[in-house]
Every structure is written in structure tokens, then in C-alpha cells.
Structure 1
Amino acid sequence: MSRTVAFIGLGHMGGPMAANLIKTGHRVIGHDLVTAAVEAAAGTGVEPAASAPEAVAGADVVISMLPAGRHVLGLYDDILAVARPGTLFVDCSTIDVADARTAHERALAAGKRALDAPVSGGVVGAEAATLTFMAGGGEREFAEARPLLEAMGNKAVHCGGPGAGQAAKVCNNMILGVSMIAVSEAFVLGESLGLSHQALYDVASTASGQCWALSVNCPVPGPVPTSPANRDYRPGFAASLMAKDLGLAANAVHEGGVHAELGLRAAELYADYAERVGDSEDFSGIVRTIRNRSGEAT
């Protein structure tokens, strides 16, 4: 069934996601604070709105893709009163679990419905509509949102109640951050032992070392032609975003009293890396930091 969707946040992730909704027959009214993002989205069929409240006024569903929890909560303050009663709000941003639960509470108090549905797959996944969505909220809300999520991705998982989607996202990305560091360290170790990148890849990719960080986003040039390492680490998933997500995971670790040495250390390493490169490099570029610190040339 075709829906009218208000899409707030048309950046590197939101723009392609909105375009994929249009490709599957939905009407999308979009808004972003960056004019260039709105213009690019308009080129894919998104109907531009001058403001977020204007975008949501007649929408069946409101989807947001924003940088941080404060942006999501600020947006909800601006638009909840404008949206029609019962409108479903689906936030695809990656934010703190507590902020996600607050967003749910504010939506319900305003007579609306809510789902947190962060994504995994990066810009490449957004463009190819191969994202994985991790959803938190009611079963009815998930069932209603699912056709839209599946138009933008190839998998949508209902993880539980409010905030559960964000919980799954921070756990998943803690695994990813730790595994990328481990894979990078292994390649630098292999270099020191005279092992070629291809030889290590051929073994580990079909043995117990196999993981997404190796087989899809391999941190060294050569073995996986589509990995960012083969285009000078131009981001698919920027170092700054990994640092942000690991920071959220670290907050949850501390709040939950969980003993997570590797997760916390990965957060420290990526915070330091992102401070130097920001969003100019893919998170797999951390291999060069490891190499530098090992006394090797970049």
C-alpha cells in the first residue's frame, strides 16, 4: 500500500533511503537543514518542504535520520503537535537508548505512535536498499512500518520494546569496532612476518577468522576490490560515526555495570582516530594508525 511519508534528514544515508521509498511507489515529502541535500533529494523525486512541520502535516508516517539524540528530541518538540493523531514516527537515527525511550514517551503523550529503527549497512547499503533495520516498539507499529523498512533494506528485525532497536545497534557496532581492530592488527602482524595480504585473506576468510570486517570491509587494498581500502579509505562508514556508536556503547556499558574491556578500549581507539580524521576516512583506515604505531610507513 502506498503511503505518504515525511522524511526528515536527507543526508548521505537519508537521501538514498528516501529515494528507495519513491522507487517502491511511496510519496515522500522531505526536509533537511542543508539546502544541497534537499536539492539532491528533489532530483530523485522527493517533494521538498520548507520546514519539518510542513513536511509532516499531511503524512501517514514520519521517518527521521539525524546525527544525535538531541536532534531527534528537538525535532519531535517541533513536529509532534503538527502531525495528525495516530501518526507513526520511525526514527532511524543511531542515538542513546535513553533518548530513544524519551522520544517514544513524547510521541505517545502527544497521541502519536513510535518506533526506533536504527540501521546497519552504511551509505552503500542505503544506496542499494540492503540495510538491516533493528526495531524497538510495539508489534503493531513494527508491522505497519515493515513494508517501508523493507523498501529501504533487505532485513527488518523486531528486537523488543521502546529502545530495543538502539540497544541492538550499539551491541552490533561494538562487535564491528572490536573486530575491525582485530583484523587490522592481524594484517599488520602478517606484514611483519612476511605474509602477503592475499595469503592471509585467503586463509582467514575461509577459516575461523572469517568476519564481516574481513570479508566485506577488508582494511587493506587488494583482497576485496569493493572495500574502502581500495579507494584510499573514502568512507562507506566514516571513522567519526564508528567513534560515535562506540561512545554510545561505552555509555551503555558503564550504565549497565558490564565488564567489557575490549569494547571500551575500541571506543578509546576510535575516539582518538576520529579526532584526527573526522569523517574523511572510513573506519577501516584505523589499520594505518596501527601500522604507524608499529613503526611502519603508511
Structure 2
Amino acid sequence: MSKIGFIGLGIMGSPMAGHLVAAGHTVTGFDLSEPAMATLAEAGGQRAGSVGDAIAGAEVVITMLPQDEHVEAVTTEVIAAGGDGLLLIDMSTIRPETSKNVAESAARKGIRVLDAPVSGGETGAKNAALSIMVGGTAEDFAEALPILESLGKTIVHVGPHGAGQVVKAANQLVVGGTYALVAEAIVLLEAAGVDAKAGMDVLAGGLAASRILDLKRDSMIARNFQPGFRIDLHHKDMGIVQAAARQAGVSLPMAGLTAQLIAAARAMGHGSLDHSALLKVVETLSGRD
């Protein structure tokens, strides 16, 4: 068992830290939210008063933070305070170049880094069923694997530093594009007078089947957009997709369209809703809101 410092106890980080406690690890967590800290304490974890307190004496530090600037600030503190041999696992979704920069800075202090963003949303985090895409060395991945197995079902080493973030960008592109198409299918069915539930049930059993149809078709038809993953965060992720595409020198036209639909959702005031709320954008464009 490891002594783990866990920074970032939000919608995703809170249940993840709880799973690590349940697996027998000693987890000391820090978050700016007092209720999040209380939840960790109730699960058997230890609450810290600062990032420094959370990482003191830790063998492994896990970060689960919203954006690049948060990761940069926290990892700078971790690198400054961390000892030789510390393993830093950043599970945030950020730009690949940020992950590479963190790894390079950490290496100068003898600190090892993995970028390990996740897919599966709040449900996956609560059920320890996340998909985890990991960038870094094979040796560090092997060491981290027993810890990551407490958090996810599909855990793959996808390449060197930054590769995890590239795979996560591709994931967010497919997820966003699929939500947009499911939204259009629902609007089409309803506008044509077809029972949307019956129609979507058929789609879910055929070649159009997807995890999004499995998990979200009923809630989308019911217009239940309680956030599991907010439009605001997916908007940030689509910026990462587009930046990665420019850096790789490739044209991703569907990524551009998906990014614009998600940006429209934010402009319409839906940023705090689940990303399945792309349905509201399609309805507005069709004059059916």
C-alpha cells in the first residue's frame, strides 16, 4: 500500500480518492472546497490544510484539477517540495505540451511523472470504472498500475509523456461529436412524429450503438441535463483538440463543427449543464426550443 497525496477532490476526484482509501492506501487530500474535504474524511482519508500538507511524506501524488493553470501551479509546488523518486500522476485533462513541460521540470528534481487523464465521467468515477490513458515511461506505468486499477477498468499505456493527453483529446472529440449526432437524431424523430424512445432503443441495438446511447438516450429525451460532465469543461477540451490538431498539422473539420456547437451551448447559457445539453442547441437551431 502507498502513502498518497491527492490534490483536487471535485466531482471526479472525490470518489476516486475514496476508492483509494477503500483499497487500503493512506490518502491525504486537499481541495479548496470544505465539503469535499469532509467527504474524504468520512471515507477514511486524511484532510490537509494545504497542497504542501497533502504531499508531505507521500510516495505518490495524484492531481485531478480543472485546467492547465491549476495543474501548473500545483505541480510547481509539488516539484519544489517533492523528494527524489516521487511519482506524480496527473489525471487532469490538459494540453499535451503542459504535460510534457511538467515532466521535464520534474525530471530535473528526480521526480517521475505520468499524464493519466480519464474518461467515464462522474458515473465512471463513482463506480471505479474509468478508462485511463497513460503517457510516460513503461517502468513508471507498471509501478502505478496497481493504484490505477482501483480507479478504472480500462488502463492503457499509450506512449511517452503527453500521449495520454492526445488520446484524451481524441476521446473528447468522439464524445462531443456523438452527442451532437444523438441530439440531431432525437430532434428528427420528434419532428417527424415518431416515438423518440422507441426509435432510440432500436438505434442502441444496431450499428449505431454506443455508450452514449446506452447511458444517455433516456435522460436526453426527458431533457434531464443534470451535469455529469459540464459543457464548460467540454468547451475547454475542444480547445485542446483544436490546438493538438494545429500542432500535428492535420485538418479535423468535424472537430471544428463540434467545437462551435459546444461554444454555442455556452453562449446560450448552458455551460453548467451536462454535455448532452447539445440537444438544446440543436432544438434552438431547428426552432423547436
Tell me the SS of whatever aligns to 1:33.
coil
The one-letter amino acid paired with 1:292 is T
**Contact 1:185–1:287 under 8 Å retained in 2:** yes
Query: 1:241 maps to what in 2?
Result: 233
The one-letter amino acid paired with 2:263 is A
Deviation of the 1:198 alpha carbon? 2.0
How much is the aligned-residue C-alpha RMSD, in angstroms? 1.5
Query: 2:123 maps to what in 1?
Result: 124
Query: 1:96 maps to what in 2?
Result: 95
The one-letter amino acid paired with 2:272 is S
Query: 2:6 maps to what in 1?
Result: 7
Q: 1:112 to 1:134 in 2, by over 3 A?
A: same
Query: 1:273 maps to what in 2?
Result: 265
Partners in 2 of 1:277 and 1:150 — Cα distance?
38
The one-letter amino acid paired with 1:272 is A
Structure 1: tracts of 5 or more residues without a match: 222-226
Query: 2:255 maps to what in 1?
Result: 263
Q: Which of residues 267, 273, 286 in structure 1 aligns to 2:278?
A: 286
Q: Which of residues 218, 225, 243 in structure 2 aligns to 1:251?
A: 243
Partners in 2 of 1:53 and 1:229 — Cα distance?
46
**Contact 2:88–2:113 under 8 Å retained in 1:** yes
CA deviations 1:149-182 (Å, max 9, x no partner) are 1101112110000001001000011011111101
Q: Superposed, which structure 2 residues align to 1:47-62 within 5 Å?
A: 47-62=46-61
The one-letter amino acid paired with 2:161 is P
Query: 2:205 maps to what in 1?
Result: 206
Deviation of the 1:237 alpha carbon? 1.4
Q: 1:61 to 1:240 in 2, by over 3 A?
A: same
Partners in 2 of 1:100 and 1:68 — Cα distance?
12
Q: Superposed, which structure 2 residues align to 1:1-298 within 5 Å?
A: 2-218=1-217, 221=218, 227=219, 230=222, 232-277=224-269, 279-297=271-289
TM-score, structure 1 as length reference: 0.93
Tell me the SS of whatever aligns to 1:99.
helix
Deviation of the 1:215 alpha carbon? 2.0
Partners in 2 of 1:52 and 1:278 — Cα distance?
32
Partners in 2 of 1:85 and 1:50 — Cα distance?
24
Deviation of the 1:231 alpha carbon? 7.2
Tell me the SS of whatever aligns to 2:268.
helix
Tell me the SS of whatever aligns to 2:114.
strand
The one-letter amino acid paired with 1:256 is A
CA deviations 1:24-46 (Å, max 9, x no partner) are 11110111122222122212112
**Contact 1:229–1:285 under 8 Å retained in 2:** no
Q: 1:11 to 1:201 in 2, by over 3 A?
A: same
**Contact 1:228–1:235 under 8 Å retained in 2:** no
Q: Could you list the structure 1 runs, at least 4 aligned residues long, displaced by more than 3 angstroms after superposition.
A: 227-231, 275-279
Deviation of the 1:230 alpha carbon? 4.6
Partners in 1 of 2:213 and 2:113 — Cα distance?
36
**Contact 2:89–2:113 under 8 Å retained in 1:** yes
Q: Which moved more, 1:45-54 or 1:85-94?
A: 45-54
Percent identity of paired positions between Structure 1 and Structure 2: 38
**Contact 1:5–1:62 under 8 Å retained in 2:** yes
Q: 1:150 to 1:279 in 2, by over 3 A?
A: farther
The one-letter amino acid paired with 1:290 is V
Deviation of the 1:228 alpha carbon? 6.3
Tell me the SS of whatever aligns to 1:232.
coil
**Contact 1:100–1:116 under 8 Å retained in 2:** yes
Number of aligned residue pairs: 289
**Contact 2:5–2:55 under 8 Å retained in 1:** yes
Partners in 2 of 1:260 and 1:81 — Cα distance?
39
